[in-house]
């Protein structure tokens, strides 16, 4: 049972000493519940689901926090007036001992907390944020209290994190966010229980991590941070020295940024908006892990060479190229070049773009790797001029990094099915799966992207541009890019060279695109590490997989690694080589399949309909009566789309409204977030629709 905050008792600190600074190992947690209100006909009211979404475009909006909960270990306290939380913060604060408060999705609560900080003249320092409005950790200077976001740590909703890390289940569905609450309204026992369980659940999650890392201070800030800690234990000082030597110059950094691309996600316009039958689907088994463990990477600072030197160095060196393409025409039904990644694009009279992918154009230029250059050559007719080229000797990644990846992959493979029936095995399986997922994120993390700070004077977020003048650790004025590159040269966070991520994604694109090229006319859709289509694939998959296995054997021999790590057996004794294509469909494939473009498709198999639309809940598929409904103009309603538009308000004016119990309440909250439900309408651009019609009668020259 929750206690009112006036009964709050501060426990004795559990002191942990780090470099003569003291930290408290007690677990503090915080959460709020709010209601979003809309002024309709001069009256404030909750969202009306009977009105269309565009009705709310010009409607005045506001949000009100009506209860807050604060946990000290297992004990949960609550208050109704949000401003009263300042009393709790002051009561637990200690000028000598730092305390940590965890909030699940701190980006939400922080916007409301700005009022309390402003009213009490407290300031935010040491802001660590992924982006604006996305704090990972920050400190309230005057209170010596550090706020951490547990969502950034788990990358899961609270309900999902509870299932993964605890035996406690978050209360679900017991709170109606559309009830006209205020800090004066009565809450039912059920509603209070819901609020309490949010804090109890969060406490158990943080307790899990405290038990694992021994101290609150030592808990990583992010999910990737967990894996970073594990990798640091595998390497030594000399490894970091090598990584620091690979920190690029400003020019090379800018080149690498332009060369970096993620996975290719696209639909073949030949089949867009058409319902296909008997569709097969193949996935690459851990594509990024295959790239990281079986290929070679730039291992020294890049140096400029002449284009004519490339032939001599191509077997031993990686190339970073600036190229110009003219008279560009695709050889395929599918198109490799991304319009967003090229510069100086001249479409020309006969130019065409396929939903963001270049079909043909007069000219363009881009920065790319040698692997991407070969894919461009095999995919387009074009005159290619190399404007500049930089080289770096290629080597496999450090054997310790490769083994860290392969051990995690081997464990994940062997335990996948066992994890479904044993909780202890499942915990270890999930940890190894997380390691597999996060190591790629570490490899391709842009080291200078997080240029985000919070300005206490204006209570606004600031994003630094590369050329901005900032102050370094010694108080000197310096450009932001120089400051970050200098920091990388001595930081133990520099676990991998940024070029590793650039080449890793390039190798993975090659693995996907080679198959797309081979099966070009029968490919319907592809996404990063999977390809779907209809028709006879012949021996294409088997031929490719045999090539992968030969590469794995070579990598194992070159690195003196037992081949079983590259091709572990699953619990049924079947080999699961990393990097091979595996069939995800059974029998004759999907009964039916339709796509309207990238991240927008629906299919039917023996289990029924399935939906993938970026930003829309997969459960929205229940609104479709059949796959024929998945077409332009179909509207996923509020209940099915489950989409919320966030409105950040920094100058919310005081207003008065009547709550569900008839109480008049005056809200003075200035900073808030309004959560407004919205619908989603399936659609495609006119340009893409016209291109689809054009492609129906088009046959590439190669055919």
pLDDT by residue (tens digit) across 481-500?
Answer: 998 999 899 999 999 999 99
* Length of the chain as a residue count: 703
Distance CA 196, CA 53 (A): 33
Lowest mean pLDDT among 185-194, 378-387, 513-522, 686-695: 686-695
Q: Is the pLDDT of residue 703 over 60?
A: no
Section 52-77 average pLDDT: 97
pTM for the whole thing? 0.92
Taking only the tens place, the pLDDT of each residue in 548-595 is: 999 999 999 999 999 999 999 998 899 999 999 999 998 889 999 999
pLDDT at 694: 82
Percent with pLDDT over 70 in the chain: 97
- pLDDT category at 700 given cuts 50, 70, 90 is low
Domain residue ranges of the chain, discontinuous segments joined by +: 3-221, 222-447+494-611, 451-493
Across all residues in the chain, what is the average pLDDT? 94
* Position 37 pLDDT exceeds 90: yes
pLDDT given for residue 426 in this prediction: 75
The stretch 465-478 carries a mean pLDDT of 85
**End-to-end CA, the chain:** 73
Contact of 53 with 643, CB cutoff 8 Å: no
Listing DSSP states for 254-301 in one string gives HHHHHH-----EEE-TTTTT--EEEEEEEEETTHHHHHHHHS-EE-S-
Q: Can you give the pLDDT at residue 447?
A: 77
Architecture category of domain 222-447+494-611 in CATH: Alpha-Beta Complex (3.90)
Sign (positive or negative) of CA dihedral 683, 685, 689, 691: negative
Q: Which residues of 489-522 are buried (b: 16+ CB within 10 A; e: fewer)?
A: eeeeebbbbbbbbbbbbbbbbbbbbebbbbbbeb
Mean pLDDT value across residues 424-432: 76
pLDDT bracket for residue 699 (50, 70, 90): low
Q: What is the DSSP letter of 180?
A: -
How much is the average pLDDT of 606-613? 95
Which class is domain 3-221? alpha beta
Report the pLDDT averaged over residues 34-52: 96
Spatial separation of the C-alpha atoms in residues 387 and 321, rounded to whole Å: 8
Average pLDDT over residues 20-36: 98
Of residues 170 and 409, more confidence is placed in 409
247-253's contacts with Cβ under 8 Å and 24+ in sequence apart are 247/485, 247/488, 247/489, 247/494, 247/497, 248/301, 248/302, 248/485, 248/498, 248/499, 249/301, 249/485, 250/481, 250/482, 250/485, 252/301, 252/302, 252/320, 252/390, 253/448, 253/481, 253/485, 253/498
Are the C-beta atoms of 555 and 293 separated by less than 8 Å?
Answer: yes
| pLDDT of the residue at 168 | 82
Nearest by Cα to 461 from 114, 154, 174: 114
- Name the H helices within 444-529: 480-488, 498-518
Residue 446 confidence class, pLDDT cut points 50, 70, 90? confident
DSSP assignment string, 589-638: -EEEEEEEETTEEEEEETTEEEEEETTS-GGGGGG-SSGGG-STT-EE-H
Q: Kindly tell me if the per-residue pLDDT of 433 is higher than 90.
A: no
Residue 419: pLDDT band with limits 50, 70, 90: low
The stretch 624-629 carries a mean pLDDT of 97
In percent, the amount of the chain with pLDDT more than 90 equals: 84
Backbone angles phi, psi at 691, to 5 degrees: -65, -40
Q: What is the mean pLDDT of residues 595-599?
A: 95
In this prediction, residues 615-636 reach a mean pLDDT of 95
Collapsing DSSP to helix, strand or coil, 60 comes out as strand
537: left (phi over 0), alpha (psi -120 to 50) or beta: alpha
Q: What is the mean pLDDT of residues 359-366?
A: 97
pLDDT value at position 432? 83
């Amino acid at each position: 049972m929750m206690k009112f905050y006036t009964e709050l008792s501060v426990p004795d600190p559990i002191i942990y000493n780090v470099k003569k600074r003291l930290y408290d190992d007690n677990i503090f947690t915080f959460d709020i519940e709010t209601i979003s209100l809309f002024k309709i006909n001069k009256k404030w009211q909750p969202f009306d689901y009977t009105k269309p979404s565009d009705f709310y475009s010009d409607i005045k909006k506001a949000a009100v926090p009506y209860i807050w909960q604060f946990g000290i270990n297992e004990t949960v306290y609550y208050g109704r007036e949000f401003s009263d939380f300042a009393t709790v913060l002051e009561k637990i604060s200690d000028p000598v001992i730092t305390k940590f408060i965890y909030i699940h999705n701190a980006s939400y609560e922080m916007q409301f907390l700005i009022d309390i900080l402003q009213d009490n003249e407290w300031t935010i320092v040491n802001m660590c944020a992924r982006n604006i409005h996305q704090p990972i950790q920050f400190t309230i200077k005057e209170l010596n209290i550090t706020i951490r976001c547990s969502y950034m740590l788990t990358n899961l909703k609270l309900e999902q994190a509870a299932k993964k890390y605890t035996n406690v289940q978050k209360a679900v569905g017991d709170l109606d966010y559309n009830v006209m609450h205020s800090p004066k309204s009565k809450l039912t026992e059920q509603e209070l229980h819901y609020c309490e369980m949010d804090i109890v659940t969060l406490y158990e999650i943080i307790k899990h991590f405290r038990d694992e890392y021994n101290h609150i201070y030592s808990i990583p800030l992010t999910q990737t941070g967990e894996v970073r800690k594990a990798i640091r234990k595998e390497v030594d000082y000399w490894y970091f020295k090598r990584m620091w030597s690979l920190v690029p110059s400003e020019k090379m950094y800018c080149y690498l940024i332009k060369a970096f691309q993620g996975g290719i996600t696209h639909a073949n316009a030949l089949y867009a908006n058409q319902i296909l039958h008997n569709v097969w689907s193949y996935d690459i088994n851990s594509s990024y892990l295959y790239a990281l463990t079986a290929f070679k990477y730039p291992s020294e600072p890049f140096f400029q060479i002449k284009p004519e030197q490339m032939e001599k160095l191509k077997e031993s060196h990686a190339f970073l190229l600036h190229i110009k393409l003219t008279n560009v025409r695709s050889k395929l039904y599918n198109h490799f070049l991304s319009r967003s990644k090229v510069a100086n694009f001249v479409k020309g009279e006969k130019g065409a773009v396929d939903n963001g992918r270049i079909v043909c154009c007069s000219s363009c230029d881009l920065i790319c790797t040698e692997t991407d250059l070969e894919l461009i050559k095999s995919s387009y007719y074009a005159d290619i001029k190399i404007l500049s080229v930089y080289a770096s000797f290629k080597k496999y990644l450090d054997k310790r990094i490769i083994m860290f990846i392969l051990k995690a992959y081997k464990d994940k493979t062997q335990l996948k099915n066992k994890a479904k029936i044993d909780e202890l095995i499942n915990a270890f399986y999930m940890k190894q799966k997380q390691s597999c997922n996060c190591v790629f994120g570490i490899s391709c993390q842009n080291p200078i992207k997080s240029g985000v700070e919070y300005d206490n004077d204006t209570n606004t977020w600031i994003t630094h541009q590369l050329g901005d003048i900032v102050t370094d650790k010694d108080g000197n004025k310096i450009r932001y890019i120089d400051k970050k590159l200098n920091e990388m040269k001595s930081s133990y966070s520099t676990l991998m060279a940024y070029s590793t991520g650039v080449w890793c994604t390039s190798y993975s694109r090659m693995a996907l695109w080679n198959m797309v090229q081979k099966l070009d006319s029968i490919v319907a859709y592809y996404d990063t590490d999977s390809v779907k289509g209809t028709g006879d694939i012949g021996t294409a998959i088997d031929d490719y997989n045999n090539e992968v296995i030969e590469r794995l054997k070579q990598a194992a021999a070159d690195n003196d690694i037992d081949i079983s790590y590259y091709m572990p057996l699953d619990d049924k004794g079947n080999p699961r080589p990393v990097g091979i294509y595996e069939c995800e469909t059974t029998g004759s494939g999907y009964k039916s399949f339709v796509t309207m473009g990238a991240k927008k498709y629906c299919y039917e198999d023996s289990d029924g309909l399935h939906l993938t639309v970026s930003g829309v809940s997969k459960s929205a598929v229940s609104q479709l009566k059949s796959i024929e409904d998945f077409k332009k103009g179909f509207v996923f309603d509020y209940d099915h789309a489950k989409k919320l538009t966030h409105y950040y308000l920094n100058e919310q004016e005081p207003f008065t409204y009547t709550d569900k119990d008839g109480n008049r309440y005056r809200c003075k909250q200035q900073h808030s977030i309004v959560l407004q439900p919205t619908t989603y309408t399936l659609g495609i651009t006119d340009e893409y629709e016209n291109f689809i019609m054009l492609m129906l009668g088009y046959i590439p020259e190669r055919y």
